[in-house]
């Protein structure tokens, strides 16, 4: 909201610079966001008359004008073309300095001498308008100093009013705050005027059918109006507040809106059938055209102002076309009313139509001040539009209520704030805020809340008033005391933090993507999941239209985008929620862990040039998952071959923990990678975090450190290609005595000598007893048994050598 300081000063006396005032307001809860100076001293700027206009021979877009400054004609080159011969405009002469700092010099423009400048509004710091030069009335003599036309410079605050303070959405409301802050009295303008017309109830009728939507409606009638421009001072104030002047009647309603925050509406009295106003709800299917020329169709249940045949206004939001003030208007019915905030909000939101009026009504105007505003506007119309006011007012006020009374306990104020405010100070603050102190007892007072403060409902609201007027700088920062809530448990969060630390310890970098993504990105990875997708009904854009049901699409995309930035190795992880829609449309959330590898991420040391093959990258990511599982104390993790829509066939495995699937890993399909121009394989794992964080705080139970030496034996064997490591392990474990404490695959190789579709696998086995030192004979005996089992069950050809 824009607030010119000169206007404030009409209602409240204070002695402070704009900066001091802004500071005081900001620290009492009314944030001053900007302090703007409009206009300037305009030295060297006069009203110039345009005498001739010619085209510039050297430039199509320039004009050459002779401009009279009251004494002589001066040649000026001008880029604008929004004027004619005889027009008058602010003319900055050579030597002038404009508010924006520009100095006017005599200069040549494309070879033509230019001795001054015709100014646009922005160059004069009057507005942001640079649409052409500013034109002033032709009645003003050339040579008049422009400062006389523009008036002195003005300081205008840009103020942010919080939602709970509709009373501050006006100059008087702000003045009331300032009066409280400076401890001075608010001065209200006079609303007295002569009522020379007929009694109003003879001239008009109000039928208020909807007391819920409209708890108060007033109407005045003003006749014999002469439409003309409003007075200069009023136009200037409107302009400073960003409202365009139109004519005296419209300007007066806007002026009173800005002044006291009460939206008014002026109907052309003659265009109201039977001079009758009906306040009612819209019917289903009813429609009307609003002032902006738009046909509004969904008026069902909206509060409407109607005459006996048609709606004439969308109550509290916008007038209707066909009943508004026009060039022929002579008689006016002036509406001032209070509309129910939720109703206005609903209609405004449904129609997507927000106005200065609806903005105030939906926050709540001063129901007690409705008639004051009407009188104020009527008085201004009598004075500035030659209006004849009808006698009296139609004031239908079914929603009238007694003012709310709130008990304010002094000790409560002090204990909530932690500030030692004296009783008298509390009572004083209430009075400064124009709250009536109805009773002042030993330990409390009773505050009667005026209608302009609908936000004050309970004692806590009064505590806030004391806090902000007394000053929050009085609140000391008490050194905090640690305090333990014994049964609180945040172990899951700590387990996730541990998981994150383990992943970074494994050399992975954490990424973070949005919870929503485009359908296109989801489809790029898979479309088998469509039924589980939660689609947003009102996304910000199609890029963020579906909640993610997997972290994999974002991971692929992140790797791909990094590759496009020439980052060709990456080891990334993300921990985040996925959202899944069930068959009954209910939505569930799961925390997932996703790991993604690209390039030589798993290769340490040299030989970086050797391309990464699928086998390598698969084993790296499997290694990460195994390490993470170990670090998170997840036992019994097994990997089983699986199919996955996003993974290459044969290169995907499902991760099982305690016999239940909890994730997937694998090498991403080439046709998916291709969309990001990723040529080398990338690997991704996705794990349900719940399984991986549930066990981390398990207590370690120390096992004895072995005291007897271990004996190790190697076995190398040639087997068919189809034999898997897991098969070998299974057989070894079955055949081994309990002294077998370790099995490690240490080599695989293939060669012509071994033969096609065959491979040599070499394992190192460790035997150790907890009770004695094993002899070579013991070890040999165990080892032979294992070799026999491998021979028999795998058709393995044992390679003897060691």
> Binding to other proteins (CB under 8 A): which residues in 354-413?
362
DSSP 573-633: EEEEEEEEE-TTS-EEEEEEEEEEEETTTT--SS-TTSPP-HHHHHHHHHHHHHHHHHHTT
**Chain position carrying tokens 């081994």:** 736
Closest CB 305 distance from other proteins, rounded Å: 20
Closest CB 24 distance from other proteins, rounded Å: 12
Closest CB 455 distance from other proteins, rounded Å: 8
**Does residue 416 bind other proteins (CB under 8 A)?**
yes
DSSP run (H or E) holding 444: strand 444-449
Backbone angles phi, psi at 370, to 5 degrees: -60, -45
**Does residue 346 bind other proteins (CB under 8 A)?**
yes
**For other proteins, which residue of 589, 726, 744, 747 counts as binding (CB under 8 A)?**
589
Helices and strands (DSSP H and E) totals, the chain: 21, 39
Closer Cβ to other proteins, 141 or 342, answer by number: 342
Contact range with other proteins by CB under 8 A, out of 468-476, 525-533, 722-730, 738-746: 468-476
**For other proteins, which residue of 136, 417, 437, 654 counts as binding (CB under 8 A)?**
417
Closest CB 36 distance from other proteins, rounded Å: 16
In sign, the C-alpha dihedral spanning 18, 21, 23, 26 is negative
Closest CB 454 distance from other proteins, rounded Å: 11
Closest CB 131 distance from other proteins, rounded Å: 27
- The 699-718 site mask, x for binding other proteins (CB under 8 A), equals --------xxx---------
Closer Cβ to other proteins, 360 or 375, answer by number: 360
**For other proteins, which residue of 468, 622, 633, 759 counts as binding (CB under 8 A)?**
468
Contact range with other proteins by CB under 8 A, out of 97-105, 233-241, 262-270, 486-494: 486-494
Closer Cβ to other proteins, 193 or 544, answer by number: 544
**For other proteins, which residue of 483, 703, 738, 802 counts as binding (CB under 8 A)?**
483
Contact 386, 354 (CB under 8 A): no
* Dihedral class, residue 518 (left if φ above 0, else alpha if ψ from -120 to 50, else beta): beta
Whole-angstrom distance, CA of residue 12 vs CA of residue 578: 57
**For other proteins, which residue of 85, 105, 460, 785 counts as binding (CB under 8 A)?**
460
Closer Cβ to other proteins, 102 or 535, answer by number: 535
DSSP 283-313: PTT--EEBTTSPEE---TT-EEEE-SSSEEE
**Does residue 448 bind other proteins (CB under 8 A)?**
no
Closer Cβ to other proteins, 484 or 756, answer by number: 484
Which one, of 77, 79, 125, lies nearest residue 98 by Cα?
125
Q: What residues between 7 and 46 interact with other proteins by CB under 8 A?
A: 26-29, 31
**Does residue 443 bind other proteins (CB under 8 A)?**
no
Q: What residues between 538 and 567 interact with other proteins by CB under 8 A?
A: 538-541, 544, 558, 561-562, 565, 567
**For other proteins, which residue of 85, 95, 148, 514 counts as binding (CB under 8 A)?**
514
**Does residue 513 bind other proteins (CB under 8 A)?**
yes
**Does residue 68 bind other proteins (CB under 8 A)?**
no
**Chain position carrying tokens 């992943």:** 503
Contact range with other proteins by CB under 8 A, out of 11-19, 315-323, 519-527, 571-579: 571-579
- For helices 248-260 and 370-384, the axis angle rounded to 10 degrees is 140
Contact range with other proteins by CB under 8 A, out of 6-14, 86-94, 98-106, 461-469: 461-469
Q: What residues between 148 and 177 interact with other proteins by CB under 8 A?
A: 162-165
DSSP run (H or E) holding 380: helix 370-384
Rg (CA), the chain: 41
Closer Cβ to other proteins, 356 or 459, answer by number: 459
**Does residue 351 bind other proteins (CB under 8 A)?**
no
Which one, of 206, 203, 230, 232, lies nearest residue 217 by Cα?
206
**For other proteins, which residue of 572, 693, 728, 786 counts as binding (CB under 8 A)?**
572
Binding residues for other proteins, rule CB under 8 A, total 97
Which one, of 129, 59, 133, lies nearest residue 89 by Cα?
133
Beta bridge partner(s), residue 747: 762
Whole-angstrom distance, CA of residue 143 vs CA of residue 40: 18
3-state class (DSSP) for residue 747: strand
Closer Cβ to other proteins, 459 or 656, answer by number: 459
**For other proteins, which residue of 86, 285, 293, 537 counts as binding (CB under 8 A)?**
537
**Does residue 472 bind other proteins (CB under 8 A)?**
yes
**Does residue 261 bind other proteins (CB under 8 A)?**
no
What's the CA dihedral at 42, 45, 46, 50 to 10 degrees? -140
> What CA–CA distances, in Å, run from 331 to 203, 263, 394, 778?
11, 19, 16, 118
Beta bridge partner(s), residue 575: 593
In sign, the C-alpha dihedral spanning 483, 488, 493, 494 is positive
Helices (H), 471-573: 491-505, 519-525, 552-564
Q: What residues between 178 and 207 interact with other proteins by CB under 8 A?
A: none
**Does residue 488 bind other proteins (CB under 8 A)?**
yes
Closer Cβ to other proteins, 239 or 513, answer by number: 513
**For other proteins, which residue of 60, 478, 800, 802 counts as binding (CB under 8 A)?**
478
């Amino acid at each position: 909201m824009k607030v010119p300081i000169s206007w404030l000063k009409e209602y409240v006396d204070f002695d402070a610079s704009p900066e001091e005032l802004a500071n005081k307001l900001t620290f009492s809860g009314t944030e001053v966001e900007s302090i703007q100076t409009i206009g300037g001293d305009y030295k060297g700027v006069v009203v110039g008359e345009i005498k001739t206009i010619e085209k510039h021979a050297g430039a199509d877009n320039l004009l050459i004008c002779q401009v009279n400054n009251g004494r002589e004609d001066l040649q000026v080159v001008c880029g604008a073309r929004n004027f004619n011969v005889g027009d008058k405009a602010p003319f900055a002469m050579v030597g002038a300095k404009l508010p924006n700092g520009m100095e006017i010099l005599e200069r040549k423009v494309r070879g033509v001498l230019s001795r001054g400048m015709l100014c646009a509004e922005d160059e004069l710091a009057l507005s942001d308008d640079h649409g052409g030069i500013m034109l002033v009335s032709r009645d003003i003599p050339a040579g008049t100093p422009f400062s006389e036309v523009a008036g002195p410079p003005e300081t205008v605050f840009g103020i942010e009013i919080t939602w709970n303070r509709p009373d501050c959405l006006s100059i008087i409301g702000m003045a009331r705050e300032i009066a409280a802050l400076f401890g001075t009295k608010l001065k209200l303008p006079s609303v007295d005027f002569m009522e020379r017309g007929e009694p109003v109830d003879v001239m008009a009728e109000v039928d208020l059918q909807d007391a819920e939507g409209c708890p108060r409606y007033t109407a005045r009638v003003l006749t014999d109006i002469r439409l003309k421009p409003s007075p200069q001072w009023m136009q200037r104030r409107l302009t400073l507040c960003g409202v365009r002047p139109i004519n005296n009647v419209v300007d007066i309603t806007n002026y009173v809106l800005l002044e006291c925050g009460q939206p008014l509406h002026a109907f052309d009295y003659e265009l109201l059938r039977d001079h009758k106003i009906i306040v009612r709800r819209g019917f289903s299917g009813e429609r009307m055209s609003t002032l902006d020329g738009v046909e509004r169709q969904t008026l069902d249940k909206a509060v409407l102002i109607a005459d006996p045949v048609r709606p004439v206004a969308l109550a509290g939001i916008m007038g209707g076309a066909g009943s508004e003030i026009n060039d022929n208007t002579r008689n006016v019915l002036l509406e001032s009313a209070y509309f129910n905030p939720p109703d206005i909000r609903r209609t405004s939101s449904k129609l997507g139509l927000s106005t200065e009026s609806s903005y105030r009504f939906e926050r709540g105007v001063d129901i007690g001040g409705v008639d004051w505003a009407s009188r104020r506007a009527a008085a201004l119309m009598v004075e500035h539009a030659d209006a004849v006011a009808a006698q009296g007012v139609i004031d239908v006020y079914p929603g009238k209520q007694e003012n709310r009374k709130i008990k304010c306990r002094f000790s409560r104020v002090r204990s909530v704030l932690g500030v030692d405010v004296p009783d008298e100070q509390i009572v004083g603050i209430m009075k400064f805020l124009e709250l009536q102190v109805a009773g002042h007892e030993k330990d409390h007072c009773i505050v009667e809340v005026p209608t302009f403060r609908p936000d004050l409902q309970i004692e806590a609201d009064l505590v806030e008033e004391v806090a902000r007027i007394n000053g929050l700088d009085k609140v000391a920062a008490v050194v905090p005391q640690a305090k333990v809530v014994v049964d609180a448990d945040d172990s899951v969060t700590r387990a996730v933090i541990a998981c994150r630390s383990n992943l970074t310890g494994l050399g992975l970098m954490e990424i973070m993507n949005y919870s929503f993504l485009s359908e296109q990105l989801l489809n790029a990875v898979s479309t088998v999941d469509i039924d589980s997708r939660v689609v947003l009904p009102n996304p910000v854009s199609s890029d963020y239209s579906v909640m993610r049901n997997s972290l994999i699409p974002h991971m692929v995309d992140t790797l791909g985008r990094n590759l496009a930035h020439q980052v060709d190795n990456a080891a990334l992880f993300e921990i985040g929620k996925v959202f899944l829609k069930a068959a009954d449309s209910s939505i569930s959330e799961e925390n997932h862990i996703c790991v993604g590898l690209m390039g030589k991420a798993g290769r340490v040391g040299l030989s970086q040039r050797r391309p990464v093959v699928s086998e390598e990258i698969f084993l790296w990511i499997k290694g990460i998952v195994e390490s993470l599982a170990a670090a998170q104390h997840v036992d019994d993790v097994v990997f089983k071959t699986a199919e996955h829509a996003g993974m290459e066939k044969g290169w995907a495995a499902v991760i099982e923990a305690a016999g239940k699937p909890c994730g997937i890993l694998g090498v991403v399909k080439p046709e998916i990678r291709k969309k990001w121009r990723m040529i080398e394989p990338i690997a991704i794992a996705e794990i349900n975090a719940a399984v991986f964080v549930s066990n981390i705080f398990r207590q370690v139970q120390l096992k004895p450190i072995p005291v007897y030496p271990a004996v190790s034996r190697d076995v190398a064997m040639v087997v068919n290609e189809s034999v898997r490591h897991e098969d070998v392990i299974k057989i070894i474990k079955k055949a081994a005595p309990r002294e077998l404490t370790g099995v490690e695959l240490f080599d695989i190789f293939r060669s012509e000598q071994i033969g096609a579709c065959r491979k040599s696998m070499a394992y190192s086995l460790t035997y150790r007893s907890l009770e004695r030192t094993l002899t070579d004979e013991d070890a040999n005996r165990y080892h032979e048994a294992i070799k026999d089992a491998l021979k028999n069950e795998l058709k393995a050809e044992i390679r003897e050598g060691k």
